[in-house]
Amino acid sequence: MSKYPILAFLCLFACILFASTWTPMIVIPEAESAKTAAYFGELAVVDGSAKADVVTRGWLWTQGDKLHLRVEADEPLMSEIPKAVTKRDGSVWEDDTIDFFIRTTEGKVFHYIFNAIGTQYDELDGDKFWNGTWTVSVERQLYAWNSEVVIDLKDLGGKPAEGTEWEFQFGRTRTSRKVARNFCWCPTGTRLFKEGFGVIRFGNANHPVALVPNTENGSQPQYVWSGEGAPECKKVETIDKGGEYKIHHFDFVDKEGTVLYRANWIKRASRVPAILKECVAALENSADTIDKALVADARALMGVNCDATPELCALLEEEATVLRHRMEYRLYSQEMARLGKPAEGIVYGIQNSLVRMRPVDNFTGVIGGDIQWDAARNEMEAAQVTIFAGKGQLHQVEARVTKPLTNADGVEIPAGNFRVRRLGYVQTCVPTYQVDYVGLYPDPLMPATAFDVAPYGNETLWIDVVVAPDTAPGVYQGTLALQARNADLTEIPVTLRVRNFNIPQKTSIVSAFGAWFWPEERPFVEDEWAVYQDMLEHRVTPYSVARLPKMTQKPYLPIGETDTLVARFTSTGAGTLKVTMVPAEGEEVTVTRPVVVGENVIAIENARQLLKGSGLYEIELQLDKIAGGELSLALLRPDGTTLELLPPSFHSVFINSDGECAWWPTWEYVAQGEGTVPAVVDWSEFDADVERGFALGITAHRADFSHPIGLWAKLYRDHLSEKGWLKYFYSYLSDEPRPEDYPWINERLMPVKQEAGTDLMNMMTARSFPPELCFVDTWCPEIYSFNPETAAAEQAKNRNVWWYVAFGARHPYANVWIDSPITETRIWLWQTWKHNLDGILYWSVNWWLWADPWRTGETFKISNGDGNFLYPDASGKPLSSIRWEVLRDGFEDYELFCILEAAKDEIGDKNPQLTQRIDTLLSVNPEVCVSWEEYSYDAAKILAERIKLMDCVDDAVAFLGHQPEITKRPVRRPGLSQQEIDDNIQLFRTREDARQRKLAEEVQKTLD
């Protein structure tokens, strides 16, 4: 049993119901080896949405009183498989592992895990101290590791009788490249394969022993069966996973109709017809011999059975894409000729910035079209230009402005305001969320030096313009030229409409985005301020732009020759009190004192001598092997006066979520407050960085507290108050806390409120606004846990409410992944306005620690682009992405709402018709955005609604005769009042004291 009974209860295995009523099943025979054992089939992604990215197979059989499991795990990256855990019942799950559960008829749950070197871990009903009788042998090969497990059935209650059914789950966690991917036999609908079970039936009925490629019938699995004649196959249901995969459920029954075997069969659907369909339809009736031949080739390819290996499917789709490009070039060159473009010129198409053009997608832009921009002053607008090559390669293609954009008065947009970049592509992984395509996605934006376009290939340019704040309103026209060494000059007309208002330099919504720098841990050179400046140019505020303030002199408590430190301690057990004294200068000193059960008075009379004459900066008192107790600390002066350092408080042992002791009771005093010589802090570098950030438009700043939090909260409060910066600063002391962490989180947040009061905000990325967290001024839930009613209720209490997207945000919630619709990135800011949120947060823009973002989209676990908007350049400066540019567009859209809100306030009842029009726009068109769960993916609708917003701002500015000033935003609510802080401190202390006493009592019983 667990060393700590109260925690063993918390760690019990949760028996969770099946994800659906249909579950897979196999018959377990008596066999001599895996050759005649029952075959599971290949494991699938744990939520059942796709095939696994590597193959894992399993066989199960009994032999006498032993249960055997054979696993063959393919692994192309054997050199990267972690195999660090060597101790039985260690943290094996941190390695590449096989994981299986058995639930017997008695309801007991046996859990077994082993890694690629055979290290074992096991549990019985959640008790990790149980050790079963089983062995593991592992054979490591060049591109696989194969294993065989033998379990003594006596552990499981003896060998089951024929016909007995147990529940079973079998899975694999693959952790190469520091990323965990889960595959399993019985898909669960969640990310955890332990949340669902299949069935194993003991007996010697006909059962599958292997799987062979199916060349005749692609609609059902093709198994090798142990007996003569395969059982009858009956399809139970088919689940379509967005057209990319189909999951078929099959029952195999004998002549009596008894189900012998149930299989999940995940088939990759063919994308070839979708790739070729539109081009075939367009050329179907052409009389041209070339067109007829292309259509014939396409129809032949569309007829190929694509339910094959992922590798073969990829080859077929690649072939289809090449054929589509040939057909498209025929169509596009004909359209260019119709438009009167040069016969030997470059074939091109224009697309807006909200369409992500993947290699497998049909081009949906305008062939031979114009670039048409509509922008406010101090705004950036972009368009995409795709260049198509024919039979021959285009050499050294360049794009440049040949006729500057000029208005009717001859005013010119400077050439330096234009930028041409080229789209790069990133290979995505199979993620845990549903996508319709895995492969190359356009994302990075690279410098557009002269480039080639391969035969029947294409390359896309991202063209943007910056409209300066002082640009005269009106229509500007010019020309962008495309030139290749082996093609005639092709000119693209460009029109820019400049509106009669400015997008403010400083964003009107608070933002907080992470940026991370570990130069010693990754090969990329990074210019930290270049990253910050790029973020601020995209209207995004980094968590912090400042170097940490430097404490040049610690605060210290003067101690005289005859002063005495006295600890009064009521202990729940006998043991030792360890006292560690840290001087303002010099080395710390530790002394120990014995402790008895009950009352103890411990005096340290020679503290100054122990500290070698230096003042006392910090003192830590820690129990050893005692569950808890109540302690106070005071300094006794020779004149009989007492300086209370620590008021009486009860502390207990801290237990982590695994039921283990994380640390023993600890009290801490830091020299701050009465009788203390104050700290001296050098804020010069910090101030210079913050001022530089303000000049670039920061909206918020995270206060990076060093230890101890309370001291630094006070130092920040005093300094920021003097500078007038307090409203910008917030603490971010923990991330996504679990309910069991709430007491510990409160202990971290409380010192900020004690020392900085109402002035310095505590921000918490906690889901669902948990009332147990009683020192939070700014809530920041993840978008999927957002609730508009509870958010509004918190705002009514003067709490700020931000929100964020991250790994947990799945459809229907917006995200900013490489493979999520690009419109989601922009609509996130529309949703922020719609729900009147006070800020947005994102955890990282440059997470390059785990993987090279140029080589894979999987920079964070089993997702694409999570935590990464930017790409490293050799110069150290960041390169942008499509998503990064579109996010800026979303921030600029948000400003339109803010300007209209300000205009409405100023117009009032002077123009009811215009006020009503503004009201309608501020409520957000439901065809574009209904809520945080329902919104449009239609780029045309979003862009059309933006034009309506700009038209209305133009009309409001014309009516007022000036641009209205935004005064209501960013919203900064005051947070907790001083009375709430005082009440919450008292309430938390009372509750925490009771909780710790109860926990200490339980643990002390175990220790005794």
For 816, residues 6+ apart whose C-beta sits below 8 A from its C-beta are: 805, 824, 825, 828, 842, 865, 869, 883, 887
> Taking the model in full, what pTM does it have?
0.80
Residues of the chain with pLDDT under 70: 1-21, 176-180, 189-195, 213-219, 241-245, 268-269, 305-311, 657-659
Structure-derived torsion over alpha carbons of residues 161, 164, 167, 170, reported in degrees to the nearest 10: 60
Beta-strand runs (E) in 436-473: 440-447, 451-453, 458-467
The pairing of strands 379-388 and 347-351 is: antiparallel
Q: Which helix (H) or strand (E) holds 913?
A: helix 912-922
CA distance linking residue 628 with residue 664, whole number of Å: 8
CA distance linking residue 233 with residue 235, whole number of Å: 7
Question: Is residue 194 packed enough to be buried (19+ CB in 10 Å), middle (13-18) or exposed (0-12)?
Answer: buried
Q: Contact 762/777 with Cβ under 8 angstroms?
A: yes
CA distance linking residue 169 with residue 172, whole number of Å: 10
Looking at the chain, the whole-number percentage of residues with pLDDT higher than 90 is 69
Q: Give the closest residue to 437 by CA, choosing from 302, 314, 325, 303.
A: 314
SS (H, E, C) 378-410: CEEEEEEEEEECCCCCEEEEEEEEEEEEECCCC
Q: Contact 306/90 with Cβ under 8 angstroms?
A: no
What's the alpha-carbon Rg for the chain, to the nearest Å?
A: 34
pLDDT reported for residue 311: 67
